[in-house]
Copies of this chain bind each other. A is one copy, B any other.
Amino acid sequence: MLPIGLLAKQSGVKIPTIRYYESIGLLPEPVRSDGNRRLYPPDAVRRLRFIRHARELGFEIDAIRELSRLAEHPAEPCCEADRLARERLAVIEDKIARLAAQREELVRMIGDCTHGQVAECGVIDVLDDHAKCLHKEH
């Protein structure tokens, strides 16, 4: 059985975050030692790594709730996992598209900067007048 500090080290999830996950019910409450310290079974490391990995891929907590439930039930059909992954992919592609548009705009603004006074600055100028944008909507 591991204390929380060791679990944090082995899973790569910080101690307060582990406690937070417990508080929102993403992790089950572990048993406690005589002195009220949390004690985790060895496979808690795997569970937490799973969660961390899913977070790194940007899955939201509620999605991870479902994903880790599925991971504990290998016999269930995986269509739900597939759906969640596709959903996440769609969100990512949307974000990338938005960021790419922002980047394009910013590059142009920066290129228009004369490095002189604000009055001639492409950056301030474009911000001041949306009509000078490439995209009507960002």
Q: Are A127 and B50 neighbours in the complex by a CB distance under 8 Å?
A: yes
The residue from B71, B74, B99 contacting A99, defined by CB atoms under 8 A apart: B99
* Chain B residues whose CB sits within 8 angstroms of the CB of A133 once the complex forms: 53
CB distance from A25 to the nearest CB of B (A): 19
Q: Are A130 and B85 in contact (CB under 8 A)?
A: no
CB distance from A125 to the nearest CB of B (A): 9
Convert A99-138 into 0s and 1s, putting 1 for each residue whose CB lies closer than 8 angstroms to a CB of B: 1101101110110011111111101101110100100001
Q: Is A26 an interface residue (CB 8 A)?
A: no
Q: How large is the interface on A (under 10, 10 to 19, 20 to 34, 35 or more residues)?
A: 35 or more
Contact (Cβ within 8 A) B109 A78: no
Alpha-carbon separation in the docked complex, A109 to B78 (Å): 12
Select which of B95, B110, B119 is within 8 A of A74 by beta carbon. B119
Known A56-B138, A57-B106, A96-B99: A82·B130 in contact at CB below 8 Å? no
